[in-house]
A and B are shown apart, each in its own frame.
Chain A
Amino acid sequence: MAVEGNAIDALSQFELGTVGGAIGASVGFTQSNLHMVIAGALIVLLMVIGMRPRAIVPGRLQSVAESAYGFIDDMVVSQVGPEGRRFFPFVFTLFMFILFGNMLGLFPYAFTYTSHISMTFTLAAIVIVLVTLVALSIHGMHFFSYFFPEGAPLWLAPIIIPVEIVSYLSRPISLSIRLFANMVAGHVMLKVFATFIVMLAGLGTIGPFLSIMPLAINVVLVGFEVLVAFLQAYVFAILTCIYLHDAVHLH
């Protein structure tokens, strides 16, 4: 399916389809959603089965679960402050959901649900709506002073206020495009070099030797993609924390 004639088809991996037969089709349950369910199940299994021993000195799986917990807990507390603890479950869910989606997408035949802009934008929109609601509930109407920094000359207001509003509204866009673009670029590159392997291997006697080069590149790329998968989940989570900090403290 990757090679149709001599064309490289790197984008068909992102096409949506339904799973679960007629029932899945009738409720529009896509393979993207199936992978979300798998990722969610893995997260819950990691946290529940990993913590089951409740050991004082943790074993391997418990260490993973505890370090994931401690990593996000530290992030939330250091970025938002101690009062940000109540956002911890949300940030933890967000981080693990994106991380497992990115990692799961690296398996062959798997679908990367974070490679859809509509999906990443929905998550970013949840974050921005949450941040705005938190800011409004804590500061009330005083929240709108966020768009005009204190001490700025009043005559600059016509410039500063639109700029601040645009920058505030562009947050979900940058947040969602960053994740989406990174995942798409990585998977397109993997697919392109994988296609090269097949195409070069078909070039007669010398082909299999030539195809080692794109294979080597792909091996490196997979390692790189693991890094990107973690990094993008981290960036999404830490930006969420920074926005929450702004919402709680207003600058």
Chain B
Amino acid sequence: MPQLDFANPLMMSKLVWLLIIFGILYYVLKTYALPQVASVLDQRAARIAADLNAARDAQAAGEAALAELRASTAAARAEAQAAISAAMVEAQAAAAKQAAEINERLSAQVAQAEAQVRAARDQAMGALREVAGETANAMLARLSVKAPANDVAAAVDRVASQGAV
């Protein structure tokens, strides 16, 4: 087996060259080749992390905008609701006031009309009593009954106050 022929001087020189070549390879890889790979991998990792962060930021911004939109929608709705209810209260107040005014005016007119009616009735009543007195006097004169004028007027009044008329 040639591998066990340790008397061969090439066996030792081969190992010396092995150490030299392995050492050079180690040095080249360690100082030049591997840091380059590491820098590319780091760059990629940094890029991925940056992209992820950007995506996360965009998501956060979108959520914030959505929340803002929701809040402003809710605020607008509340405002509109408040305006509606205020307008409703105002309109109700106005309607109530108007109704009260109309009621007042109507009741005033009613009172006035009643007063006029009462005045007309009183006037009519007065005229009726006069006519009744005259009629009574005329009937008494036809019957040739002499009666004092005061007695006739008193009798007419008594009958009128009894509500017969």
Contacts and interface: CB of A to CB of B under 8 A. Distances in A.
Given A30-B14, A116-B14, A118-B11, A44 B33 contact: yes
Q: Is the interface of B mostly helix, strand, loop or mixed?
A: helix
B39 to A, nearest CB: 8
A28 B18 CA distance: 11
A173 to B, nearest CB: 15
B32 A48 contact: yes
Nearest to A184: B3
B2 interface: yes
Contacts of B26: 89-90, 93
Contacts of A247: none
B1 interface: yes
A96 B4 CA distance: 26
A69 to B, nearest CB: 5
Contact of A118 (B14, B37, B47): B14
A69 B37 contact: yes
Given A15-B2, A32-B17, 14 more contacts: A16-B10, A29-B13, A30-B13, A30-B14, A33-B14, A36-B21, A47-B34, A51-B37, A54-B43, A66-B41, A88-B34, A89-B29, A116-B3, A118-B6
Interface residues of B, number: 36
Contacts of B60: none
A105 to B, nearest CB: 13
B34 A119 contact: no
Contacts of B21: 33, 36-37, 40
A33 B17 contact: yes
B37 A65 contact: yes
Interface string A200-227: 0000000000000000000000000000
Contacts of A37: 21
Interface of B: 1-4, 6, 8-19, 21-22, 24-26, 28-30, 32-34, 36-38, 40-41, 43-44, 47
A160 interface: no
Q: Is the interface of A mostly helix, strand, loop or mixed?
A: helix
A196 interface: no
A179 B16 CA distance: 20
A156 interface: no
A90 B10 CA distance: 26
Interface of A: 11-12, 14-18, 27-30, 32-33, 36-37, 40, 43-44, 47-48, 51, 54, 56, 62, 65-66, 69-70, 88-90, 92-93, 96-97, 113, 115-119, 122-123, 126, 180, 184
B25 A122 contact: no
A184 to B, nearest CB: 7
B161 to A, nearest CB: 122
A28 B13 contact: yes
A97 B30 CA distance: 14
B11 A16 contact: yes
A30 B10 contact: yes
A56 B13 contact: no
A118 B15 contact: yes
**A-B CB proximity, top 3 nearest:** A28-B13, A47-B33, A89-B30
Contact of B18 (A36, A54, A66): A36
A33 B18 contact: yes
Given A37-B21, A51-B36, A16 B29 contact: no
A123 to B, nearest CB: 8
Contacts of B24: 40
Contact of B14 (A16, A51, A66, A184): A16
Contact of A56 (B14, B28, B38, B47): B47
Nearest to B26: A93
Contact of A122 (B3, B4, B18, B43): B18
